[in-house]
């Protein structure tokens, strides 16, 4: 499998399940599953082989034995495999889905769908949906062979036999978008369905009109091929790599495909009228493991705010280079350092005040309002996700709109349009919240300031979510810097802002300002569990700290954790300070729970720190 395909398959990995331990799975089998009306779980399989083993060469394959046992378990436990048609009728409010509904889907048209899956469907009388990349079946052997090897796809006669049985439905997996296309000047290959192609000879990106035309034409061709070959009326598109945005969802509708399926972890109601997320099967799981993941998908997926995050804030200005070669070297250094640190979330400052006049004048992504110094963001985001499995937030200051008169929502939309795999936006609010943080009650002027910030945030989120990959569950946060110990208004601000924002990011230096940290601890004791889950605390760290000061930083992180804060970070990471951070704050910033896998990139020895 070539490098491009591996990079694209990495998207599947980072939006997919993490398989639990057997003990967790066994405990979950005793859990009674109570589901709301019309809620269903969609399971995504790929190849099925008799010889799949642990650590198999194909992470997405499942053994015939495990699939058969899963089907038996579904039947035994009263789960009801449903059809696409059932979801479509429920969406139109013409039908109610039965309790414990599951939609079984198989992607890519692998031959095993006919030789191994179809016999099992007939044995258990289960329906299933098969997502077909039509160009693969019609002779696009290059991409198909890279994925499954030679002569390992179904043909139309086999699919017609399956369709006529009444157990198999078919959907589009695009015609020829199951591949990567050039996405930036550094030649990264990214999913064709949601990426504006970078045109090296013209040194520009594909226009919106050209992109939209390309997507519609591909999907129309796929639908027409399926309808003609199988005698059906195809309604659904199952997006390659789970890559879909609200924009591409609308384009699919214009192509005659009103049902849209991504990947992800957010269960949705059949009648919600949006793209449905699918849970991805990996690692040849047993039925018990699959059951646990089904329960997680249905009961916990909507509580994204509970997930632990370890932030590293980094200014892309440090990546500015004379050419792409030097940039790639710097980026490699950054990714190696972050990977060794084992944090999981990268926060990038993506604009700068280049001439030092107090106003933002350059951006590191294509846009219509600021000069583009160089497109550094796209490759950084992509490499962070595919190489080191880090989610990435972009940081923009609200002063772009409040003080410079530019449109922050428009700027955010343009940022996300060219970086569809971005996790979310961090809006740095400057001093806009100062009056609210310092006072327990707000006068009219202060309340208006808070309201204005939240309104701007809502506009940016609306614009961003139109272009963001739906599989990623786009989020937003408001960033405030604490200037003094007078923070009595923090609790009402949290109560007000978190009604609009996913997270509140709070930054300060607890060693330089211990009085602020004492005040923070006092305020945290007033908050409930959910409010704490929606807070991020990030320290601005002095890289030249003494040994005693580093110890204070460590203790302060530990104090936050003891107060049930699960999202922490460093606000001002720099390449030159990487060694100090690694040596002194690895334990505090790392999401790695196993000291056996610790690696210090600055030392050939891999001994455990401290």
Q: Tell whether the model's pLDDT for residue 213 goes beyond 90.
A: yes
pLDDT in tens, 229-251: 999 999 999 999 999 999 999 99
- Average of pLDDT values for 86-113? 94
Q: Which of 539, 474, 13 is nearest to 242 (CA)?
A: 13
- pLDDT at residue 36 in the model: 66
Structure-block tokens of residue 45: 């399989």
391-397 and 371-372 beta bridge pairing:
unpaired
Q: Which of 78, 68, 56 is nearest to 121 (CA)?
A: 68
CA distance 55 to 518: 49
User: Side-chain half-sphere of 94: how many Cα atoms within 13 Å?
Assistant: 6
**29 confidence band (pLDDT: 50, 70, 90):** very low
- pLDDT at residue 151 in the model: 87
- pLDDT at residue 294 in the model: 82
- pLDDT at residue 13 in the model: 43
- Identify any residues that bridge with 105 across adjacent strands, giving them in sequence order: 44, 129
Instruction: Report the topology of domain 3-13+40-299.
Output: TIM Barrel (3.20.20)
CA distance 431 to 434: 5
Within 188-308, strands assigned E span 189-191, 198-199, 204-205, 236-238, 259-261, 279-280
**65 confidence band (pLDDT: 50, 70, 90):** very high
Q: Which of 242, 158, 231 is nearest to 194 (CA)?
A: 242
Q: Tell whether the model's pLDDT for residue 610 goes beyond 50.
A: no
> Where exactly are the structural domains of the chain?
3-13+40-299, 309-591
**217 confidence band (pLDDT: 50, 70, 90):** very high
SS (H, E, C) 143-211: HHHHHHCCCCECCHHHHHHHHHCCCEEEEECCCCCCCEEECCCCCCEEECCCCCCEECCCCEECCHHHH
pLDDT in tens, 390-416: 999 999 999 999 999 999 999 999 999
Ramachandran quadrant class, 149 (left: phi over 0; alpha: psi -120 to 50; beta: rest) = left
Return the CATH number of 309-591, one of 3.40.50.720, 3.20.20.80, 3.10.129.10, 3.40.50.2300: 3.20.20.80
Most confident of 289-303, 342-356, 492-506: 342-356
Q: Which of 55, 66, 60, 65 is nearest to 45 (CA)?
A: 60
**17 confidence band (pLDDT: 50, 70, 90):** very low
- Average of pLDDT values for 469-474? 85
- pLDDT at residue 518 in the model: 97
Q: Tell whether the model's pLDDT for residue 607 goes beyond 50.
A: no
Mean pLDDT of the chain: 89
Prediction pTM value: 0.89
Structure-block tokens of residue 457: 């945030």
Q: Tell whether the model's pLDDT for residue 605 goes beyond 60.
A: no
Q: How much of the chain, in percent, has pLDDT values that exceed 90? A: 77
Q: Tell whether the model's pLDDT for residue 4 goes beyond 80.
A: no
Show Cβ contacts of residue 213 under 8 Å, excluding neighbours closer than 6 positions: none
- pLDDT at residue 601 in the model: 78
- Our CA angle for 112, 118, 120, nearest 5°, is 105
Residue 455 φ then ψ, to 5°: -65, -40
- pLDDT at residue 509 in the model: 98
List, as one string, the DSSP characters of 505-537. EEEE-TTT-HHHHHHHHHHHTTS-HHHHHTEEE
- pLDDT at residue 580 in the model: 94
CA distance 196 to 367: 13
Domains 3-13+40-299 and 309-591 share a fold: yes
Judge contact between 223 and 232, C-beta under 8 A: no
Which of 38-42, 186-190, 309-313 is least confident? 38-42
What three-state secondary structure class fits 1? coil
Q: Tell whether the model's pLDDT for residue 322 goes beyond 80.
A: yes
């Amino acid at each position: 499998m070539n490098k491009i395909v591996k990079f694209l398959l990495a998207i599947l990995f980072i939006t997919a399940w993490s398989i639990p331990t057997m003990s967790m799975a066994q405990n979950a089998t005793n859990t009674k599953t109570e589901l709301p009306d019309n809620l269903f779980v969609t399971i995504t399989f790929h190849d099925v082989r008799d010889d799949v083993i642990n650590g198999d060469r194909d992470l997405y394959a499942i053994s015939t034995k495990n699939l058969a046992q899963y089907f038996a378990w579904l039947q035994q436990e009263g789960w009801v495999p449903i059809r696409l048609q059932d979801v479509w009728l429920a969406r139109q409010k013409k039908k109610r889905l039965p309790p414990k509904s599951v939609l079984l889907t198989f992607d890519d048209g692998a031959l095993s769908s006919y030789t191994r899956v179809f016999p099992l469907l007939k044995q258990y009388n289960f329906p299933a949906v098969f997502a077909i990349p039509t160009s693969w079946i019609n002779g696009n052997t290059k991409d198909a062979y890279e994925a499954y090897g030679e002569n390992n796809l179904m043909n139309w006669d086999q699919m017609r036999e399956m369709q006529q049985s009444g157990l198999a439905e078919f959907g589009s997996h695009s015609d020829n978008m199951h591949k990567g296309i050039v996405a930036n000047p550094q030649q990264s290959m990214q999913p064709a369905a949601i990426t504006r192609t970078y045109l090296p000879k013209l040194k520009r990106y594909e226009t919106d009109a050209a992109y939209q035309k390309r997507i519609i034409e591909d999907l129309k061709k796929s639908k027409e091929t399926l309808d003609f070959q199988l005698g059906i009326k195809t309604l659904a598109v199952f997006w390659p790599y789970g890559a879909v945005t609200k924009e591409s969802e609308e384009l699919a509708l214009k192509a005659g495909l009103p049902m849209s399926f991504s990947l992800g972890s957010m269960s949705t109601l059949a009648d919600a009228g949006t793209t449905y997320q699918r849970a991805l099967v990996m690692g040849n799981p047993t039925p018990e493991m699959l059951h646990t993941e089904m329960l997680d998908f249905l009961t916990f997926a909507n509580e994204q705010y509970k997930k632990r995050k370890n932030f590293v804030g980094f200014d892309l200005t440090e990546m500015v280079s004379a050419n792409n070669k030097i940039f790639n070297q710097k980026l490699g250094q950054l990714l190696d350092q972050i990977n060794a640190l084992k944090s999981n979330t990268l926060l990038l400052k993506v604009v700068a005040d280049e001439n030092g006049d107090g106003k933002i004048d350059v951006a590191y992504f294509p846009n219509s309002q600021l000069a583009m110094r160089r497109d550094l963001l796209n490759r950084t985001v992509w490499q962070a996700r595919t190489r080191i499995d880090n989610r990435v937030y972009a940081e923009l200051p609200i002063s772009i709109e409040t003080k410079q008169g530019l449109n922050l929502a428009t700027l955010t939309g343009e940022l996300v349009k060219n970086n569809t795999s971005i996790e979310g936006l961090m809006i740095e609010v400057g001093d806009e919240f100062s009056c609210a943080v310092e006072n327990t009650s707000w006068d009219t002027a202060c309340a208006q300031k808070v309201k204005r910030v939240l309104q701007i945030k809502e506009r940016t989120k609306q614009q961003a979510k139109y272009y963001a990959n739906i599989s990623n569950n786009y989020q937003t946060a408001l960033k405030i810097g604490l200037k003094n110990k007078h923070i009595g208004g923090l609790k009402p601000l949290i109560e007000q802002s978190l009604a609009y924002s996913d997270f509140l990011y709070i930054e300060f230096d607890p060693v330089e300002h211990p009085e602020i940290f004492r005040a923070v601890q006092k305020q945290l004791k007033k908050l409930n569990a959910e409010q704490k889950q929606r807070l991020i605390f990030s320290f601005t760290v002095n890289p030249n700290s003494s040994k005693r000061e580093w110890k204070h930083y460590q203790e302060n992180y530990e104090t936050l954790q003891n107060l049930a804060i699960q999202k922490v970070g460093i606000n001002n990471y720099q390449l030159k300070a990487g060694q100090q951070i690694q040596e002194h704050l690895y334990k505090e910033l790392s999401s790695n729970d196993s000291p056996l896998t610790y690696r210090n990139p600055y030392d050939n020895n891999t001994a455990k720190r401290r």
